């Protein structure tokens, strides 16, 4: 299914499938299950970038590393609201991050604005997010 979505955008660059062992390790380390759509996407493509070089969906390893970094950064704890309820999985190339809310669980995609610490819904699900991000003319499609 995801290859069909990706294939409708010729400039999108998809990776090979993610290692299921890494996905399990990611879930254990973050203490949260991956959203079903994100897990199935990663099983088909371990990351996705667009023709602007933006990481629309990060690799499983980057999802793990960046989420642990955001949650463990002492400076972030003084600057921003907690990140524990979010699972970041992509960015706009300009500092804003895209995430799923994991507590309470939601299929909606949110954007975290790194300048204001705002978190708002930008898409009802992963497929809609992909189509919007890949079909846009730049990093600010969600504004």
Tens digit of pLDDT for each residue in 64-111?
999 999 999 999 999 999 999 999 999 998 899 999 999 899 999 999
CATH code for position 13: 3.40.1580.10
pLDDT in tens, 116-134: 999 999 999 999 999 999 9
Q: What is the pTM of this model?
A: 0.94
With beta carbons less than 8 A apart as the criterion, state whether 112 and 81 touch.
no
Residue 141 inside a domain? The answer is no
Residue 42 inside a domain? The answer is yes
Residue 85 inside a domain? The answer is yes
Q: Give the number of domains in the chain.
A: 1
**Could you tell me the two tokens for 60?**
């499983």
Range of the domain at 54: 2-134
Q: What is the DSSP string of 87-110?
A: EEEEE-SSS-EEEEEETTEEEEEE
Task: Report CA-CA distances (Å) from 82 to 37, 41, 68, 103, 112.
Answer: 24, 26, 12, 12, 12
Q: What is the pLDDT of residue 139?
A: 64
Q: What is the pLDDT of residue 31?
A: 96
Residue 142 inside a domain? The answer is no
């Amino acid at each position: 299914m995801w290859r069909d979505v990706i294939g409708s955008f010729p400039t999108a660059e998809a990776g090979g499938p993610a290692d299921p062992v890494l996905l399990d390790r990611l879930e254990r380390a973050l203490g949260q299950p991956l959203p079903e759509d994100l897990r199935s996407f990663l099983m088909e493509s371990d990351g996705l970038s667009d023709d602007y070089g933006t990481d629309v969906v990060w690799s499983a390893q980057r999802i793990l590393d960046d989420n642990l970094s955001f949650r463990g950064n002492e400076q972030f704890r003084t600057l921003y609201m907690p990140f524990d309820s979010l699972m970041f999985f992509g960015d706009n190339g300009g500092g804003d991050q895209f995430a799923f809310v994991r507590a309470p669980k939601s299929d909606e995609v949110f954007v975290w604005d790194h300048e204001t610490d705002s978190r708002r819904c930008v898409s009802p699900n992963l497929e809609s997010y992909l189509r919007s991000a890949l079909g846009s003319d730049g990093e600010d499609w969600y504004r």
